[in-house]
């Protein structure tokens, strides 16, 4: 690194104030990392690169929202186990504690040849290494009759924030004894147990205030994550309320009509009083724009999370093909630490350790009835390889289920502190 005299230091400071429009060469010796997306992957990566490099790397996090509502635990908000404010987080900790430059704008495009990110305002920010962690985009037209306009009538609520508030209002406002229809997404999608935890939390709401209501689940799949555990829980806590219908049984959702609230299948036409439709998913648009996708998702190098298409770009979380890891906040956080270690090593020469990945997904079925599934992973040349795992068992005693729920509360506190402070 160039020796910093008082004069060059002032020069660097002056350049930093105009960081967004200046090419990276103007910043002198500090290597630059830009992170797009401030969720479990991006916020964690930005924090760890900044924290561990102790000022030797300039880190900019581009995230449109000033307050980030986590998708994980939004189901617990639906079930009244959390208030809305408690799943919202800001980025002051990253800026103040670790010196991350926060840019609250949309990243509109990436020029990977020039190593530049273009922002919604028209400004550009240059990088030496780019981390893309944009989460998912929804493929609205994957369900015939669903559309961006339809999301206000049948909320997907698969990105957190106002969609989840809307869904909760519709659940609470549904007529007495009415039918709620839920369409989960096809594989692969964000948070495999998530739709089924959502069904549990909506059933929990109905049990309290609308006990004769019904929930019909029109699944495009024939099986789902933690199926035995959820089915057992639904029978125990909400007997007769939830009807889960597999793809083979209903023969496919032919069309939905948001005016009549009808769902047409081979088996029958189902009429809803309220509904949630979660369409198929793909990597966030900016990943497509950067050209690091192959089809709907982005292939990565398992040992580092580098894009297979560009060694200066890393793709984290839901947007990546991190097989065999599920698309979860925990996975993204784990991948971010592997990428951060690798990025810092390549920019500053710091030690790069062998990659280690892990994931655990907790779900709440009813009050004090928590279940979990988890696994360890290592990096093989062609995939992130599962090395061991566990899953809750059916018939577990209530004390263990309560402890599992309490553990999930601890995890939420832990991961959000890890991401944002």
Partner 1 sequence: MKSKFVFFSIIILLLFSNKILADDKALAGADFEYGQHLSGECVTCHNSTGLGQGIPKITGMKTAVFIKKILAYKTKEKDNAVMQMVADRLGEEEINSLALYLSKTK
Q: Which residues contact 379 (CB under 8 A, 6 or more apart)?
A: 302, 303, 355, 357, 385
Give yes or no for residue 73 binding partner 1 (CB under 8 A).
no
Of 179 and 360, which CB lies nearer to partner 1 in the complex structure? Answer: 360
Of 53 and 408, which CB lies nearer to partner 1 in the complex structure? Answer: 408
Least CB distance to partner 1 at residue 33 (A): 17
Least CB distance to partner 1 at residue 307 (A): 22
Per CB under 8 A, which region of 4-12, 138-146, 156-164, 370-378 contacts partner 1? 370-378
Of 214 and 337, which CB lies nearer to partner 1 in the complex structure? Answer: 337
Least CB distance to partner 1 at residue 229 (A): 13
Give yes or no for residue 86 binding partner 1 (CB under 8 A).
no
What stretch of H or E contains 96? helix 92-98
Of 60 and 408, which CB lies nearer to partner 1 in the complex structure? Answer: 408
Least CB distance to partner 1 at residue 383 (A): 18
- Interface residue with partner 1 among 48, 200, 201, 397 (CB under 8 A) is 48
Give yes or no for residue 392 binding partner 1 (CB under 8 A).
yes
Give yes or no for residue 56 binding partner 1 (CB under 8 A).
no
Whole-angstrom distance, CA of residue 380 vs CA of residue 224: 26
Q: Which residues contact 192 (CB under 8 A, 6 or more apart)?
A: 224, 225, 326, 327, 328, 361
Q: According to CB under 8 A, which residues from 277 to 316 bind partner 1?
A: none
Give yes or no for residue 323 binding partner 1 (CB under 8 A).
no
Give yes or no for residue 366 binding partner 1 (CB under 8 A).
no
Give yes or no for residue 133 binding partner 1 (CB under 8 A).
no
Give yes or no for residue 151 binding partner 1 (CB under 8 A).
no
Give yes or no for residue 376 binding partner 1 (CB under 8 A).
yes
Give yes or no for residue 345 binding partner 1 (CB under 8 A).
no
Whole-angstrom distance, CA of residue 239 vs CA of residue 235: 5
Of 80 and 418, which CB lies nearer to partner 1 in the complex structure? Answer: 418
Give yes or no for residue 12 binding partner 1 (CB under 8 A).
no
Give yes or no for residue 83 binding partner 1 (CB under 8 A).
no
Give yes or no for residue 386 binding partner 1 (CB under 8 A).
no
- Interface residue with partner 1 among 17, 388, 397, 398 (CB under 8 A) is 388
Least CB distance to partner 1 at residue 373 (A): 9
Give yes or no for residue 128 binding partner 1 (CB under 8 A).
no
Per CB under 8 A, which region of 4-12, 15-23, 288-296, 326-334 contacts partner 1? 326-334
Of 261 and 403, which CB lies nearer to partner 1 in the complex structure? Answer: 403
- How many residues of this chain bind partner 1 (CB under 8 A)? 35
Least CB distance to partner 1 at residue 188 (A): 22
DSSP state at residue 74:
H
Site string for partner 1, 400-419 (x = CB under 8 A): ---x-xxxxxxxxxxx-xx-
- Interface residue with partner 1 among 333, 335, 366, 384 (CB under 8 A) is 333
Give yes or no for residue 387 binding partner 1 (CB under 8 A).
yes
Beta strands 179-183 and 242-245: pairing type?
Answer: unpaired
Residue 98 falls in which region: left (phi positive, over 0), alpha (psi -120 to 50) or beta: alpha
**In the complex, which residues of this chain contact partner 1 (CB under 8 A)?**
48, 52, 330, 333-334, 337, 341, 351, 353, 356, 358, 360, 372, 374-376, 387-390, 392, 403, 405-415, 417-418
């Amino acid at each position: 690194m160039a020796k910093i005299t008082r004069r060059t230091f002032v020069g660097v400071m002056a350049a930093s104030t105009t960081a967004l429009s200046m090419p990276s060469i103007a910043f002198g010796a500090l290597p630059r990392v830009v992170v797009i997306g401030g969720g479990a992957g991006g916020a964690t990566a930005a924090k760890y690169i900044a924290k561990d490099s102790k000022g030797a790397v300039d880190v900019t996090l581009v995230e449109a929202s000033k307050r980030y509502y986590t998708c994980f635990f939004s189901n617990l908000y639906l079930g009244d186990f959390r208030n809305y404010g408690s799943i919202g987080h800001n980025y002051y900790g990253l800026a103040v504690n670790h010196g991350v430059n926060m840019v609250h704008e949309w990243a509109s495009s990436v020029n990977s040849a020039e190593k530049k990110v273009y922002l919604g305002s028209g400004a550009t920010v240059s990088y030496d290494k780019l981390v893309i962690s944009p989460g998912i985009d929804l493929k609205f037209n994957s369900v015939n009759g669903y559309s961006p306009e339809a999301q206000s009538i049948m909320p997907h609520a698969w990105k957190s924030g106002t969609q989840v508030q809307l869904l909760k209002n519709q659940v609470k406002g549904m007529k007495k004894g009415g039918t709620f229809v839920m369409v989960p997404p096809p594989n692969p999608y964000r948070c495999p147990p998530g739709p089924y935890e959502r069904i549990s939390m909506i059933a929990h709401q109905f049990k309290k205030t609308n006990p004769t209501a019904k929930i019909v689940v029109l699944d495009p799949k024939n099986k789902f994550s933690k199926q035995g555990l959820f089915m057992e829980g639904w029978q125990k806590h909400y007997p007769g309320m939830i009807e889960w219908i597999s793809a083979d049984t209903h023969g496919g959702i032919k069309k939905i009509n948001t005016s009549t609230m009808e769902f047409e299948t081979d088996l029958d036409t189902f009429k809803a009083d309220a509904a949630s439709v979660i369409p198929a998913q793909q990597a966030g648009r900016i990943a497509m724009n950067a050209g690091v996708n192959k089809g709907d998702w982005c292939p990565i190098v398992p040992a580092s999370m580098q894009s297979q298409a560009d060694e200066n770009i890393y793709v984290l979380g839901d947007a990546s093909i991190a097989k065999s890891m599920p698309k979860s906040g925990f996975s993204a956080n784990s991948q971010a630490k592997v990428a951060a270690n690798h990025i810092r090593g390549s920019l500053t020469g710091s030690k790069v350790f062998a990659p280690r990945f892990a994931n655990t997904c907790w779900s709440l079925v009813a009050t004090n009835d928590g279940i979990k599934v988890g696994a360890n992973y290592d990096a093989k040349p062609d995939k992130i390889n599962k090395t061991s795992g566990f899953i809750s068992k059916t018939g577990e005693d209530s004390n263990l289920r309560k402890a599992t729920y309490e553990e999930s509360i601890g995890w939420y506190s832990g991961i959000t502190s890890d991401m944002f402070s």
